[in-house]
Structure 1
Amino acid sequence: MSETRPLHRSPRDYLVAEAPDEPVLFLSPEVLQASARRFCEGFPGMVTYAVKANPAEAVLLNLMAAGVAGFDVASPAEIALVRSLSPEAALHYHNPVRSRSEIAMGVAAGVASWSVDQPGEWRKLDGALPPGAEVAVRFKLAVSGAAYDFGEKFGATEAEAVALLAQVAGAGFRPALTFHPGTQCADPEAWAAYIEAAGRIAGAAGVRLARLNVGGGFPSHRMRGEVPPLDAIFARIGAAVREVFGEEAPTLVCEPGRALVAEAVSLALRVKSLRGMGEVYLNDGIYGALAEQPLMGMTDRIRVMAPDGRARAGAARDRLVWGPTCDSLDRLPGKLPLPCDMAEGDYLLIDGMGAYSTATVTRFNGYGGLRLATVRALNEPSGTGHHRPCA
């Protein structure tokens, strides 16, 4: 991924001036830092960033500038990346499956918090961590409200969590609990259910929690008519912790990824060809920055712009949209309502694309090269469109 100097105020200005033929990710540091401040000021505890969502150095540095001092890291590479930018940052290694060499590397890097969800993984940590390290037992529930459930891969049952938590406390480590309600979870009651379960687990284990990590899963703005209820989620978390734990409430920490970075990036893709019955072929697809769309469903936050900056505003027409590779699976889900007056060489601007758009690029067929441009604004109107009925 190449990066350009911050010369342009908006994606429209950049596209008109540069006429790029490869995909471009537009990063707004102002939007990113505003998202970070909203979490730091609204969440009733420590905010750590899940590096996996977008590990770009520009993203990490802007989050640090906005006050994010902790990072959820899932691998030695992510640990090394954060340490190269901030020797003092708090590192939470909450991928609960690690090799012994990965544990040793984390200890050497000063990881502050570890998670565990299974006796075999606990045995790897016990004896390897320094005295007083925080160990958070990760548990799972059958709770709905997310786009997909992380509990299928990680997490102990409540009964298993009780036993693990008692072992952690008995070994002299700082006892904590952690959970993840699932990706793009918009229901505040999902967090309340997990917090109630945390109270049951701590009570059954006879352990006073030092900290409760309420995970990630906070929703980003994916669809035009669905504004993420972050303030309601923050308030419900705070209220639930007070209701369940009272004066013995543990300190809180969260680990958002998507909700911190998604809104700060827009993706520009070029129309390579219009074929057949209006099918659209783009210069990127599911093997590139759009890898998540078949899993999450296609966002409708899409604008179409002519090369001269005019917004395409013709009547919407449902179209099949294909990526650039030779694989017939490289197709966006469903049909997208796109302007009937769009043409070869136009740009599709997709908003809210800061999460997982760069982290999962494969470079299959030689595609997936992404240009990164820094701009101040992302949502400037793309000029005045002309209206032309579909034939």
Structure 2
Amino acid sequence: MGLSEGNQAKTVWDNPAEIVRSLRPENPVLVFAPTILQDRARQFIEGFPGLVTYAVKSNPEEAVINNLVAAGIRGFDVASPFEIDLIGRLAPMAARHYHNPVRSTAEIAHAVAAGIKAWSVDSRSELDKLFAQVPAEDCEISPRFKLPVLGAAYDFGAKFGATPDRAAELLAAVAARGYVPSLTFHPGTQCVDPGAWEQYIRTAREIADKAGVMPRRLNVGGGFPSWRVHGVEPDLPAIFERIGTVTAEVFGENAPQLVCEPGRGLCGDAFAIIARVKALRDDGAVFLNDGVYGGLTELPMIGNLDRIDVLTPQGERRSAPDAGRVVFGPTCDSVDRLPGELALPGDIAEGDYLVINGAGAYSVVTNTRFNGFGELQQLTAMSLG
């Protein structure tokens, strides 16, 4: 469908329905609503009882970084030389915490040269690499510890984190060498239960007592949820309140300064993917122009996003009763299938569009071009409703 000059020049749309009506895009579109991102950033800044640092890995788009800075975010969790340099360029006055606990000697050297002052570590071998290159003056090293995962969509402890006993040994070693001693953990992704943080905070006090060192700061990680499914809207204020209350209870007057590093909890709800129905099989299966090799990579691991509107090419919402549908992506690989079934309107038709809300986290960075698919246009809208 040809585009008018007005449509070609338009930079901010009202909502996804207007995009569908006007453009009828053949390839997937990622729609960004900066107002939603800035509102969520302010919710964290005003509600979390400490420093908010954004986990850049979840969505490193420059527009995301710029809008977070505009909303007041002053810290970023960086996991690579690329992310260190990105934030150094876009937010030169912001704090950068290099909390990927495994780094090559070349990556450490790059970070030292860039002025990184905050590090995490989860093994003695990695700590020795930091001792060899990182100057102690005004530099913070935070042992990262892990516990059996509770209430998370998947467990980061399978890859990162020391046992509490080892974390105590690391914390004591950090303090003995003259670095600023702190602690950090990550409860796992998409934690909707405030209790996911409580046991970690209590264990942090046990680690501090065992090491004989009170941490200057306690980074409670990410794990803050985005709104993925109907009926399970995250209660961020309850999570913030539990973190603050438990920290005060277990540390008392020695309470460390708190830090968090949300990724999806900040950016997830500020984006929607518009995917088009390529075909309907005789058995009712739906084929989309996006799938697990594109912007929907996470879904088989973490579960479907079900905050979905189905629009006709004219931008009208389908409203027939829902029916369970198997949904495939566009590639030739049979793995390219969303988990289980999606509840979609019974009158869905080829050429319709699915507006999949809550798709801002990891949808850009995991997108591939497998099979020649994966082109993902990015547009801006005032709202996603």
Q: Of the candidates 51, 58, 62, which is equivalent to residue 57 of structure 1?
A: 62
Is structure 2 residue 134 aligned with structure 1 residue 114?
no
Contact 2:117 2:138 in 1 (8 A): no
Q: Of the candidates 294, 305, 330, which is equivalent to residue 336 of structure 2?
A: 330
Q: Of the candidates 174, 178, 193, which is equivalent to residue 172 of structure 1?
A: 178
Counterpart of 2:352 in structure 1 is: 346
Query: Does the C-alpha gap of structure 1 residues 60 and 147 become closer, same or farther in structure 2, counting only changes over 3 Å?
Result: same
Deviation at 1:143, TM superposition (A): 3.6
Please give the per-residue CA displacement for 1:77-130, whole angstroms capped at 9, x wherever unaligned.
Answer: 111111121221111000000000100111111112100000000000003112
Counterpart of 1:384 in structure 2 is: none
* Cα separation, 1, equivalents of 2:340 and 2:248: 44
Secondary structure in 1 aligned to 2:183? strand
Please give the per-residue CA displacement for 1:113-169, whole angstroms capped at 9, x wherever unaligned.
Answer: 100000000000003112220000000111411111111111111110111000000
Counterpart of 2:72 in structure 1 is: 67
Residues 1-391 of structure 1: pairs in structure 2 closer than 5 A:
6-130=11-135, 131-379=137-385
Q: TM-score, normalised by structure 1?
A: 0.95
* Cα separation, 2, equivalents of 1:54 and 1:4: 26
Contact 1:10 1:378 in 2 (8 A): yes
Contact 1:4 1:374 in 2 (8 A): no
Aligned residues: 377
* Cα separation, 2, equivalents of 1:217 and 1:201: 21
Q: TM-score, normalised by structure 2?
A: 0.96
Amino acid at match of 1:299: L
Contact 2:183 2:204 in 1 (8 A): yes
Query: Does the C-alpha gap of structure 1 residues 220 and 329 become closer, same or farther in structure 2, counting only changes over 3 Å?
Result: same
Identity of counterpart residues, as a percentage?
Answer: 57
Query: Does the C-alpha gap of structure 1 residues 96 and 326 become closer, same or farther in structure 2, counting only changes over 3 Å?
Result: same
* Cα separation, 2, equivalents of 1:99 and 1:271: 44
Amino acid at match of 2:211: A
Amino acid at match of 1:13: E
Deviation at 1:5, TM superposition (A): 5.1
Show structure 1 runs of 4+ deviating over 3 A: none
* Cα separation, 1, equivalents of 2:120 and 2:212: 19
Where do 5+ consecutive residues of structure 1 fail to align? 380-391
Secondary structure in 1 aligned to 2:182? strand
CA RMSD of aligned residues (A): 1.2
Contact 2:12 2:382 in 1 (8 A): no
Deviation at 1:4, TM superposition (A): 8.0
Contact 2:271 2:359 in 1 (8 A): yes
Contact 1:314 1:339 in 2 (8 A): yes
